[in-house]
Structure 1
């Protein structure tokens, strides 16, 4: 664990994301003090139904990220459909309609790399299930900035390609099952 107090958790997921996040997010306690920023690959022509789905199931407030808002503690933010979610140096969120990265907008790499620049060692980044390699370069950036890099165990992920690619790009990442994460995340902020 790094010596810095944590400032944020960022999560990237693709295929199988809803099932994985349904295990993790509702389990976060109401007093979990960090912002949680999430990119899930959602087709650009569809409304993002994730906010309403998770709002009903989570103790923490759940919302769609808005351009130029500050990442507030104890809040879960989902990237909106068809926009990259970025973190500015001052912790403000921004949205971008720049070109897709890894065929995706929002892209996990974009969130992870900008969050690593903003929060450095104060960041915990997690790459979950998915069927491409988005998140691999971003997770490497997080580790390079001193943050905690975690991949869902490819052996237990619904779609192992994405966590396996992230682990290949960032071999120092911790490998955890969803059950491990349920214990680890609340412990990030334990006194």
Structure 2
């Protein structure tokens, strides 16, 4: 059980992560390095092939100290739990940390969409939203990062120079003033520092 002082210290209320090509390896690096007492919930969009049942949650769960699960409708997010968007469903966060899944149209040719997740997080959490864009092709996440910035939230991006696929990190850098651009191996520590208020931008 997390102590209330740890929770009250959190400078952010949620971390949302978007990734695509190369993202499984990147998520293993980030989620695998976060501590068991990470004090806020995480929501993740990783583009997955909708034609196959995914074992992504199982793979990540074995390598992370956090609890990792596929998001289900009406799940309520909580500290130390990672909710993954299932294949072919958009993941949205609503007031009170309630999740919903949507089969609405593809956004920029993808479903789930990091843009839609980030936009919902921005709307609910405003300046308490922290989003992170990892490796991937295309530009998913850039518009959502803009929504987060417009409401006072924080955007972290993997350095395009070290990302396996540069498209998503480059797109977000063109779209907004990214608060932190970091090599993959530095992202987990940065997320911990930002959330706990021990790191400034």
Question: If the TM-score is normalised by the length of the shorter chain, which range does it land in?
Answer: over 0.9
Give the number of equivalent residue pairs. Answer: 189
Find the aligned partners of 2:83 and 2:106 in 1 and give their Cα distance.
20
- Equivalent-residue separation in structure 2 for 1:78 and 1:122 (angstroms): 20
Matched, 1:113 2:119: yes
2:54 maps to: 48
After TM superposition, the structure 1 = structure 2 runs for residues 104-143 of structure 1, keeping only pairs within 5 Å, are 104-143=110-149
Which of 69, 88, 98 is the matching residue for 2:75? 69
1:32 aligns with 2:30: no
SS in 2 for 1:162: helix
Aligned Cα root-mean-square deviation (Å): 1.5
C-alpha displacement of 1:152 = 0.8
Partner of 1:156: 162
Gaps of 5+ in 1: none
* Alpha-carbon shift at residue 90 of structure 1 (Å): 2.6
* CA drift at 1:42: 0.5
Query: Aligned-pair distance for 1:62?
Result: 0.6
Which residue number corresponds to residue 93 of structure 1? 99
Secondary structure, aligned partner of 2:97:
coil
Per the alignment, residue 108 of structure 2 pairs with 102
Deviation at 1:171, TM superposition (A): 2.4
| C-alpha distance in 2 between matches for 1:182 and 1:93 | 24
Distance 1:156 1:37 in 2: 23
- Which residue, out of 7, 12, 16, partners 2:22? 16
**Conserved 8 A contact 1:167-1:173:** no
TM-score, reference length from structure 1: 0.94
Alignment of 1:176 with 2:182, yes or no, is yes
Per-residue deviation, 1:96: 0.4
The Cα of 1:183 is off from its aligned counterpart by 1.9
SS at match of 2:95: coil
Distance 1:59 1:119 in 2: 25
CA distance, structure 2, for counterparts of residue 188 and residue 75 of structure 1: 18
The answer to whether the aligner puts 1:5 opposite 2:27 as a matched pair is no
